Amino acid sequence: MRLPTWDELSADEEQLDVLEAPLDQPLFVAGPPGSGKTSLAVWRADALTELYGKTPVITFNRMLRRSLQLVADENDIEISASTMQSFVWGDYTRRAQERPPRAASDAYAYLWDSMVERLAEGGSEREALVVDEGQDLPEGFFVYASRCVAKRLSVFADEEQAIGEGRSTLEQIKLATGLPDPVILTENHRNTPEIARLAEHFHRGRLPAATVVRGRSGELPQLVRSPNTESTVNRIVNEFRNREGTIGVIVHRNATGQAVCDQLRSRLRRTRVDMYSNQEQNEQLIDVRKPGVTVLNKESVKGQEFDTVFLLELERFVPCASDADYRAMYMMCTRARDKLFLVHGPNNALSADVGAALPGMNILERP
């Protein structure tokens, strides 16, 4: 991701309203993919840091934390980006002089009520805290953050992109924190109209679809049949050699991603080819801003954007069986700025169920 300058963001009236929101007041912002939430969160944290000292930015996953820190460092912005798990572990352990209590059945599930009871009497230590992709954080975190961590919260969220079990709706965030009604951003500055139309096919949210700011590209997203990994890799290699830029490859199974990554590295020897693995926690070695190919699964691609996206293993994602499946498809499709490929295989034809779940040829180019 590239961080737009303050001047670039302020040229848009919606974004200017967020940039100029009083720093001594809490802030709640909701908006669709491409509306600039993450960029606004970084600039908000920068302004709060100047006023109150280094302000943490908390987010959902390690890859987005890495991207936030990279763009901040590149622009000489002093923030401390952290995942929720890492931040809460450090904050609670330091203040309570004990490890945070967790559910016996899930080591990642904090017992928020017990933690708040333990620390609430001491009040909030920090003046400000910024949260990006707040919809993917549990409601208990927002109670903890507002009562025990910071006096002023700035939360950026879009419940239409939430994919996890512990997600929070905008209403839940508001009730947990006492934040005002969210400022609603309505414009999409990332996707071409063609990509946005495909993403909207999977949009099931309460808020209307975003207004696309970019002009038409003339290139529809494409449905691609790939009989094997070699065929998929050939397509990705050709796309990179023709256009270069950044390519995101989204997979359902990490085994698929590793097979694709291995072949890409043998074909694109002078090109950056990376795969993020939560098991390896290798995000510090990856810079998605640099030209090349990044392979991720749907959980890790949250908050990222690429010039071109290949969504592999399409049959694993559609037809959508739940609201969470629709949100995931909506989120994944909107990672692409300019070109989007939905890749299925190895069957010669789509199953009837998958075909019926996809939009028509006026939205999705089919072979």
Report the pLDDT value the prediction gives residue 209, as an integer from 0 to 100.
Answer: 80
294 CB contacts (<8 Å, ≥6 apart)?
Answer: 246, 247, 248, 249, 274, 275, 276, 286, 288, 304, 306
Q: Which residues of 341-360 are buried (b: 16+ CB within 10 A; e: fewer)?
A: bbbbbeeeebeeebeebbbe
pLDDT tens string for the chain (367 positions)? 788 888 888 899 999 999 999 999 999 999 999 999 999 999 999 999 999 999 999 998 999 999 999 998 888 888 889 999 999 999 999 999 999 999 988 878 999 999 999 998 888 889 999 999 999 999 999 999 999 999 999 999 998 888 776 789 999 999 999 999 999 999 999 999 999 999 999 998 777 788 999 999 999 999 999 999 999 999 999 999 999 999 999 999 999 999 999 999 999 999 999 999 888 889 999 999 999 999 999 999 999 999 999 999 999 999 999 999 999 999 999 999 999 999 998 766 678 888 899 999 999 999 8
At 284 the pLDDT is: 94
Listing DSSP states for 281-329 in one string gives: T-GGG--TTSSEEEEEETTTTTT--EEEEEE--GGGT-S--SHHHHHHH
| pLDDT at position 165 | 67
Which residues, 6+ apart, have CB-to-CB distance to 20 below 8 Å? Answer: none
Nearest Cα neighbor of 304 from 60, 100, 31, 19 is 60
